[in-house]
Homo-oligomer: A and B are copies of this chain.
């Protein structure tokens, strides 16, 4: 009789089904754990530049991430205030906060899915 997956992988008491989740448009990813973290740091620091540093990410990459999200939204989710590269600062719109909240709840449902699958892996 065929062995169960649990028995094939029975070495692993730390076995877990895990994954990542993102939103894409026509195959292009623009929202997921990275962008969420970046937006949260922008909210915290009021600056794309400071947020990029906290993420150990280049300023250019952080800008591209913000632009990608803005390009998918009906209105910008990050508002960049004038003042040059160092000054000015950036703020999140209410829409950005709603996207973050949406992702948090989505991720909760995904965690429930992963927990169910981890349980299934360990018992079946």
CA distance A27 to B12 in the complex (A): 11
In the bound complex, residues from chain B placing their C-beta under 8 Å from that of A22 are: 17-19
A87 beta carbon closer than 8 Å to chain B: no
Interface residue tally for chain A (C-beta within 8 Å):
40
CA distance A72 to B117 in the complex (A): 18
A110 beta carbon closer than 8 Å to chain B: yes
CA distance A50 to B120 in the complex (A): 34
Q: Which residue of B lies closest to A114 (CB)?
A: B21
Q: Is the CB of B23 within 8 A of A99?
A: no
CA distance A109 to B35 in the complex (A): 26
CB distance from A104 to the nearest CB of B (A): 12
A56 beta carbon closer than 8 Å to chain B: no
CA distance A110 to B3 in the complex (A): 23
CB distance from A122 to the nearest CB of B (A): 11
Interface residues of A in 20-48 (CB under 8 A from B): 20-27, 29
In the bound complex, residues from chain B placing their C-beta under 8 Å from that of A27 are: 14
Q: Is the CB of A117 within 8 A of B109?
A: yes
